[in-house]
C-alpha cells in the first residue's frame, strides 16, 4: 500500500502501529494492524505551517501517547493520546506545557546548605542551572545567568569544596557558594566538553579546542593550564581513576603512533605518557571501581584487548572497543558484558564473561539486556557491583528482561526474581543505598516502581510505585542521584515531559515523599497530629478526583478511598480508629502524580 506524503513512525501498541503522514500541509495520524485492509486514517490533526518533525511517542497495550508533531516558536506543544479511533484521538488539555521550569534535567549534584543543583530547560527553552531551595524543601529556582541562548549553556554543575561551578558561553565559568552570589570567571580559552574531578577534588577540563588540559578550584588564581598538546594532536576524554587523572592524545601525522595515553597528578611535572597505541581505531577510558579500564583494537584479525589495573590484558576476538557495554570489578574478578553478537542460527545474544588467563571465560548468553540502550550508555552502566557479585537487567528471551545476579561462576549466574511473570520487568536505574541495598526501577506488570534488592529473591521488594502503566506512558526514568536519604531523578510521566522528581526515604525504606520537585509543597494536611478527622488540601487539583491511602509503619493499609476534591476549601476525612502513632498519607491524582506526608494519629 502506498501512502501520499512524507511519513514518520509514531509508536506501536500491542495490536496497532501508528504513523504520521504530511499531506498538502495537513498532518494525519494513521494506524495499521499489518494488513492493507487494516491500514486507515485515524484522524486529521489539521493544517500546519510549522516544521514537521520526529515527535516523541510511547504506548501502552491499548493507547499511544505522542507529542504534537509540529516544531516552531508558536507551535502547539501539548500531548495527544489515541486508542486507534477518531473519537479516542484528542489532545490532553489542561496539562502544563512540557517546557516547565526545570524540564529535561541532567547532572544532579550536591551544593552548599544541602541544596541540589542540576541543568535543565526553562519555560523559554533556554538551558540553565537550577537549584533546590534549602529554606523551602523541594521547590526549585533558576539561577540568574547572562546567557539567553539555547546553544551556549554547555556545562552541567560541578562541586568543588563549598562551591558549585558550571560553564556557559564557552569562555565563562560561573561560581556560587553558600552566599548565593554568582561570580563569573572569564576564561582565556574555551571549554571543550570533556571534564572530570581530579584526585585532588578539583575540576579538570579539556580546553582550547581540544588542545590543552586546565584545572580550576573556582577562583581566578586557581584556574590555569596544566598540559598543552603538540601542534599535530588533539586531546580527548578525561577520567580519574584512583590517584591519577588520565586522558588521550590523538595524532594525525602519518607513520607515527596514533594515540598516547597520559596520566597526571594534576601538575605539569607529574604528567607523563604511560601507553602508546599504534593504530587509529577507537579507545575508551573508563573508571571502574577506582581502576582505569581501557581497550585497544587491532585488525587482521579484528580483535580488542581490554586493560584493567590488577588484571592481565584480556584478548577478545571479533570485538571493537565500544562493544563493551558492561564492566565491573569485584575484589577478585573482572566482569565483562558485550554487545550482541550475531549468528545465522541464533540471531543475536549478549555475552557475560569473567577474565581468566588473559582470555574471556563465558558465563551466560542473554537474548535481552535492560533497556536495549547499549548504543548510548557508558560501559559499566549495565553491570552493578553488589559485594563480590554483579547485578543486571537481563533475559533469556527477547521480550523478558528480569533481575539477574552473577558471582562469577556459571552456576552462580541466575535470575534473582521473576518480577513480571507475564512479561518483562526491565530493571533499570540502579542506585546503591545504605551500602547494602540497591534501588532500581522495574515493572511488575501493573505499575512501574522503585524496588530494592540485596541480591536474593526474598530481599527484593517494591519500595514505591511511580505510575500505573494502563493510565499513561511507562515512565522513562534516568539520571538518578542519591544524596543522604533523598533520591533525585529525571522522569517522563508522558504528560508533562521529562522533569525533576524527588523520593525521600525513611530509614526503613518507607517513602515519605515522591513527587515532582515543583509540586512537593502542594499537599497540606491539618491538624497534625490528628485525632478523629483531618483536612486535606492539594493545590492545582481542586474539583478533581484523588485516591487517598493511609498506611502504618508496618506498611499495612488502614484507609484507601477515592474522593473528589471540593472546588474550594479542604477535603475532610474521618480517621480510622484501629491505629495510633506515625502513619503515612498518600494522595494520588488521576494522572499518576503522588504526594506523601507523615500523619500522626493521636490517641
Q: Which residue has the higher pLDDT, 589 or 345?
A: 589
Count of beta carbons in the 10 Å neighbourhood of residue 220: 15
Task: Give the three cell numbers for residue 482.
Answer: 542519591
pLDDT, averaged across the chain? 80
CA distance 128 to 157: 10
3-class DSSP assignment, residue 382: helix
Burial classification of residue 539, based on how many CB atoms lie within 10 Å of its CB (0-12 exposed, 13-18 middle, 19 or more buried): exposed
Q: Say whether pLDDT at 91 is over 60.
A: yes
What average pLDDT does range 350-367 have in this prediction?
92
Instruction: Say whether pLDDT at 20 is over 50.
Output: yes
pLDDT at 494: 58
pLDDT of res. 12 = 54
Q: What is the pLDDT of residue 150?
A: 45
Alpha-carbon distance of 561 to 454, in angstroms, equals 33
Instruction: Report, as an integer, the average pLDDT of 432-455.
Output: 88
Please state, in angstroms and rounded to a whole number, the distance separating the CA atoms of residues 529 and 600: 5
Taking the alpha carbons at both ends of the chain, their separation in whole angstroms is 72
Report the pLDDT averaged over residues 243-271: 87
Look at residue 402 and tell me whether its pLDDT is greater than 50. yes
What is the model's pLDDT at position 436? Answer: 78
Instruction: Describe the strand order of the beta sheet including 291-298 as a list of residue ranges.
Output: 285-288, 291-298, 303-308, 314-317
Check pLDDT > 70 for residue 227: yes
Q: Which residue has the higher pLDDT, 392 or 602?
A: 392
pLDDT the model gives residue 390: 96
Q: What is the pLDDT of residue 249?
A: 92
Whether residue 534 is predicted with pLDDT greater than 70 in this model: the reply is yes
User: Which range scores top for mean pLDDT: 99-108, 388-397, 433-442?
Assistant: 388-397
Q: What percent of the chain has pLDDT over 70?
A: 76
Q: How confident is the model at residue 270 (pLDDT cuts 50, 70, 90)?
A: very high
With 90 as the cut, is the pLDDT of residue 23 above it? no
Phi–psi pair at 379, nearest 5 degrees: -55, -45
Above 80 in pLDDT, residue 578? no
Q: What average pLDDT score do residues 417-442 get?
A: 88
Rounded CA gap, 323 and 281, in Å?
A: 13
Q: Which bin fits 515, alpha (ψ -120 to 50), beta or left (φ > 0)?
A: beta
- Predicted confidence (pLDDT) at residue 471 exceeds the cutoff of 50: no
Please state, in angstroms and rounded to a whole number, the distance separating the CA atoms of residues 348 and 444: 26
Quick check: 54 pLDDT over 60?
A: no
**Once rounded to an integer, what is the mean pLDDT over residues 81-105?**
62
pLDDT at 240 over 80: yes
- The grid cell for 22 is 504530511
Please give the C-alpha separations between residue 440 and each of 58, 59, 429, 589, in angstroms, as whole numbers.
Answer: 21, 22, 5, 24
Whether the pLDDT of residue 372 is over 60: the answer is no
Q: Residue 22: helix, strand or coil by DSSP?
A: strand
* pLDDT for the residue numbered 18: 66
pLDDT class of 15 with cuts at 50, 70, 90: low
Nearest to 453 by CA among 478, 436, 435, 434: 436
CA 563 to chain centre: 34
**Cell 478526583, residue located:** 545
Joined together, the cell numbers standing for residue 518 give 515543583
Please report which confidence band the pLDDT of residue 75 belongs to, taking 50, 70 and 90 as the band edges: low
**Mean pLDDT lowest among 109-123, 199-213, 331-345, 582-596:** 582-596
| Cβ-based neighbours of 59, under 8 Å, separated by 6 or more | 11, 12, 13, 18, 65
- Whether the pLDDT of residue 473 is over 50: the answer is no
Lowest mean pLDDT among 425-434, 514-523, 556-565: 514-523
pLDDT tens-digit profile of 382-401? 899 999 999 999 999 877 88
The C-alpha cell 521547590 sits at 139
- Rounded CA gap, 590 and 471, in Å? 8
- pLDDT at position 223, please? 95
pLDDT for 572 beyond 90: yes
- 154 Rama class: left (phi>0) / alpha (psi -120 to 50) / beta: alpha
Rounded to whole angstroms, the Cα distance separating 462 from 444 reads 9
In this predicted structure, the answer to whether residue 512 has a pLDDT above a threshold of 70 is yes
- What confidence score (pLDDT) does residue 44 get? 80
On the question of pLDDT at 124 being above 80, the answer is no
The pLDDT assigned to 492 comes to 74
User: For residue 465, what pLDDT is reported?
Assistant: 84
Strand-pairing partners, residue 195, are 205
Q: What is the largest CA-CA distance in the chain?
A: 85
Q: What is the DSSP letter of 417?
A: E
Cell of 465: 510505585
How far from 562 is each of 136, 359, 419, 534, CA to CA, in Å? 30, 60, 28, 16
22-26, 328-332, 370-374: least confident range: 370-374
- Residue 568, pLDDT score: 86
Task: Note if the bond before 55 is cis, omega within 30 degrees.
Answer: no
Least confident interval from 140-149, 359-368, 376-385: 140-149
The CA distances from residue 121 to 5, 15, 129, 168, in Å, are: 33, 36, 8, 14
Q: What is the pTM of this model?
A: 0.73
Amino acid at each position: 500500500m502506498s501512502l501520499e506524503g512524507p511519513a514518520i513512525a509514531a509508536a506501536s501498541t500491542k495490536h496497532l502501529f501508528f504513523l504520521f503522514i504530511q499531506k498538502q500541509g495537513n498532518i494525519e495520524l494513521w494506524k495499521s494492524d499489518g494488513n492493507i485492509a487494516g491500514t486507515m486514517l485515524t484522524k486529521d490533526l489539521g493544517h500546519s505551517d510549522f516544521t514537521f518533525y520526529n515527535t516523541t511517542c510511547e504506548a501502552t497495550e491499548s493507547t499511544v501517547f505522542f507529542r504534537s508533531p509540529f516544531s516552531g516558536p508558536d507551535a502547539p506543544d501539548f500531548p495527544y493520546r489515541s486508542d486507534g479511533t477518531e473519537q479516542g484521538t484528542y489532545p490532553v488539555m489542561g496539562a502544563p506545557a512540557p517546557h516547565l521550569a526545570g524540564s529535561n534535567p541532567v547532572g544532579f549534584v550536591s551544593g552548599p546548605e544541602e541544596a541540589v543543583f542540576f541543568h535543565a530547560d526553562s519555560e523559554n527553552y533556554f538551558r540553565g542551572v537550577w537549584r533546590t531551595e534549602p529554606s523551602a524543601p523541594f521547590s526549585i529556582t533558576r539561577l540568574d545567568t547572562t546567557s539567553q541562548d539555547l546553544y551556549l549553556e554547555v556545562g552541567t554543575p560541578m562541586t568543588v569544596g563549598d562551591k558549585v561551578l558550571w560553564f556557559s558561553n564557552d569562555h565563562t565559568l560561573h561560581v556560587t557558594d553558600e552566599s548565593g552570589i554568582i561570580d563569573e570567571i572569564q576564561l582565556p580559552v574555551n571549554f571543550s566538553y570533556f571534564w572530570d574531578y581530579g584526585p585532588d577534588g578539583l575540576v579538570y577540563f579539556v580546553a582550547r579546542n581540544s588542545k590543552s588540559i586546565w584545572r580550576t578550584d573556582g577562583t581566578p588564581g586557581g584556574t590555569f593550564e596544566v598540559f598543552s598538546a603538540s601542534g599535530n594532536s588533539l586531546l580527548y576524554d578525561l577520567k580519574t581513576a584512583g590517584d591519577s587523572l588520565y586522558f588521550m592524545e590523538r595524532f594525525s601525522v602519518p607513520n607515527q603512533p596514533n594515540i598516547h595515553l597520559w596520566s597526571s597528578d594534576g601538575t605539569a611535572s607529574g604528567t607523563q605518557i604511560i601507553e602508546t597505541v599504534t593504530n587509529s581505531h577507537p579507545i575508551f577510558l573508563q573508571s571502574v571501581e577506582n581502576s582505569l579500564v581501557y581497550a585497544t583494537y587491532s585488525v587482521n584479525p579484528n580483535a580488542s584487548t581490554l586493560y584493567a589495573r590488577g588484571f592481565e590484558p584480556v584478548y577478545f576476538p571479533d570485538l571493537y572497543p565500544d562493544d563493551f557495554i558492561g564492566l565491573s570489578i569485584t575484589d577478585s574478578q573482572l566482569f565483562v558484558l558485550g554487545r550482541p553478537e550475531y549468528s545465522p542460527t541464533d540471531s543475536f545474544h549478549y555475552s557475560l564473561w569473567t577474565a581468566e588467563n588473559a582470555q574471556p571465560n563465558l558465563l551466560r548468553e542473554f537474548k535481552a539486556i535492560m533497556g536495549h540502550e547499549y548504543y548510548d550508555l557508558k560501559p559499566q552502566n549495565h553491570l552493578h557491583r553488589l559485594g563480590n557479585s554483579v547485578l543486571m537487567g537481563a533475559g533469556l528471551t527477547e521480550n523478558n528482561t528480569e533481575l539477574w545476579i552473577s558471582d562469577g561462576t556459571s552456576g552462580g549466574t541466575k535470575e534473582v526474581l521473576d518480577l513480571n511473570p507475564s512479561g518483562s520487568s526491565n530493571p533499570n536505574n540502579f542506585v546503591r543505598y545504605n551500602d547494602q541495598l540497591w534501588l532500581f526501577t522495574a515493572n511488575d506488570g501493573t505499575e512501574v516502581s522503585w524496588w530494592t534488592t540485596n541480591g536474593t529473591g526474598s530481599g527484593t521488594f517494591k519500595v514505591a510505585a511511580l505510575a500505573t502503566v494502563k493510565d499513561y506512558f511507562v515512565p522513562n526514568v534516568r539520571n538518578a542521584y542519591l544524596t543522604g536519604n533523598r533520591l533525585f531523578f529525571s522522569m517522563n510521566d508522558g504528560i508533562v515531559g521529562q522533569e525533576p522528581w524527588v523520593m525521600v526515604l525513611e530509614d526503613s525504606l518507607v517513602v515519605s515523599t515522591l513527587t515532582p520537585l515543583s509540586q512537593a509543597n502542594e499537599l497540606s494536611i491539618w491538624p497534625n497530629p490528628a485525632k478523629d478527622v483531618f483536612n486535606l488540601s492539594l493545590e492545582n487539583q481542586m474539583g478533581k478526583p484523588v485516591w487517598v491511602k493511609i498506611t502504618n509503619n508496618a506498611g499495612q493499609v488502614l484507609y484507601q478511598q477515592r474522593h473528589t476534591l471540593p472546588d474550594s476549601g479542604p477535603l475532610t476525612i474521618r480517621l480510622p480508629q484501629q491505629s495510633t502513632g506515625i502513619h503515612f498519607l498518600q494522595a494520588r491524582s488521576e494522572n499518576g502524580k503522588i504526594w506523601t506526608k507523615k500523619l500522626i494519629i493521636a490517641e
